[in-house]
Structure 1
Amino acid sequence: MQEGFDEDDIKLRCSGGDRKAYAQLYTFYFKPLYRHVFLFLKSKEASEEIVQDVFVKIWENRIILSTVQNLKPYLYRVTKNLLLDYLRRLQTENRIIKMVSPETEPIEDSTSDSIDHKDYMALSKEAISNLTEKRREIFLMRTEQDLSLDEIADKLSISKSVVKKQLYASIAFVREYMHKHGGISTGLLLALLKAL
């Protein structure tokens, strides 16, 4: 343990809302958590973002810190959960982008598959058309123009976190819309839901 870092004292003070103690916690654990996440993602930006989210979550739930037995395993568990959430969102985004991108070709295995794909594409376009104007714009910039979150943020003069929230909300809406309006085969819907 680093000199001057009393874990029990830090937990107690943080749980009481002491920002100085929180800053000490952040300083002490940011780099090890960052290195841990970076091993999986190999992305400086994504790793920093996840670790920042970890500390936001810790602060939001600081009241429970006083009940945490061992701080280090607790922080790594929170980090693991947010890393898994990030990977699931990434998988969802990539799956939807792949399915609604203009160059997607219909499946040629059978007439039934081809019809299912056409139904799916029509329903996905309908879902996208029901997005709010801003969400639709962000969604299409990502899916059709293949712009990164940073590029979208620059073009729209908004923060990357706003772009990310709007994009994830769009993806969630499209998924829910397609689930509710089920104009596609059960098999394809189940495959989509499993992938998301």
Structure 2
Amino acid sequence: MSLPTAECILKIKDGDTAAFRELFYTYKDALFCYACKLSRSSELAEEAVQEVFMKVWINRQQLNPDLSIQSYLYTATRHCIFNILKKAALDASLRQAIFYHQPTAANTTDDEIRNAELQRVKTKVLDLLPPQRKLIFCLSRIDGLSHEEIAQKLGISKSTVKDQIVKASRFLKQELHTHHDIIIPMLVLTMGVTTTSH
């Protein structure tokens, strides 16, 4: 199949699905291989390629037929993979920092079953945080950034940063408390949160 021409890109901008399919089938395999090399994961590579083409279609009006669509697709795929890997690393680090610093327990079957269930609950609760609140919480607890640094990085006020961290901490404690009281002392110590009444 020949490479899509500027005319093909113009058709895509006009909503031509046949032209979009031509673009997709021309580049999907090459982009998948490229994404696999970057991520070393076929699942992440497939996710990235799908996301890239989805964004191409959604933002098709912004395509420039005078520029190389190939360069655009490879750049978009690279950025997508990096974002996916960054998010995965951030989520893993957050779970590790918050939820796995537990006191050593006796190695009994009951303890193992109990801890396994607690880990399941805590992971589920963590994912309930809104994306921005979770990001702010990560930057504070994982990256160790100050409120001012987070505010500058995200373009928000210091008061907003503080408010989001407090709300995230309270939410996590409250949700976990509904599942098991034993989590609370560990969570408070790990987060460095002081309980206050408002």
Assess same fold via TM > 0.5. Answer: yes
With structure 2 as the length reference, what TM-score do the two structures score? 0.56
- Hey, what does 1:99 align to over in structure 2? 97
Q: Which has the larger radius of gyration?
A: 2
Task: Give distance in 1, aligned partners of 2:71 and 2:88.
Answer: 25
Q: 2:133 aligns with which of 173, 190, 195?
A: 173
Task: Give distance in 1, aligned partners of 2:102 and 2:17.
Answer: 54
User: Relative contact order (alpha carbons < 8 A, sep ≥ 6): 1 or 2 greater?
Assistant: 1
CA shift digits 1:65-86 (9 cap, x unpaired): 2445111001111111111211
Q: 1:145 aligns with which of 97, 111, 120?
A: 120
Q: Following TM superposition, by how much is the alpha carbon of 1:145 offset from its aligned partner in structure 2, in angstroms? A: 2.6
What is the root-mean-square deviation of aligned Cα atoms in Å? 3.7
Q: Structure 2, unaligned stretches of length 5 or more? A: 104-115, 151-198
CA shift digits 1:22-63 (9 cap, x unpaired): 011111110000000001212111110110000011011111
Per the alignment, do residues 9 and 145 of structure 1 end up closer, same or farther by CA in structure 2, a change over 3 Å counting?
same
With structure 1 as the length reference, what TM-score do the two structures score? 0.56
Q: Structure 1, unaligned stretches of length 5 or more? A: 107-140, 153-165
Question: Residue 104 of structure 1 aligns to which amino acid in structure 2?
Answer: H
Q: Which runs of 4+ in 1 moved over 6 A?
A: none
- Matches for 1:1-196 after TM superposition, within 5 Å: 2-3=1-2, 5-101=3-99, 103-104=100-101, 144-145=119-120, 167=127, 170=130, 172-176=132-136, 188-190=144-146
Secondary structure at 2:120's aligned position in 1? coil
* Conserved? CA contact 1:13–1:21, under 8 Å: yes
CA shift digits 1:148-181 (9 cap, x unpaired): 9xxx8xxxxxxxxxxxxx94854542343587xx
Per the alignment, do residues 47 and 98 of structure 1 end up closer, same or farther by CA in structure 2, a change over 3 Å counting?
same
Count of paired positions:
134
Q: Following TM superposition, by how much is the alpha carbon of 1:64 offset from its aligned partner in structure 2, in angstroms? A: 2.0
Question: Residue 91 of structure 1 aligns to which amino acid in structure 2?
Answer: A
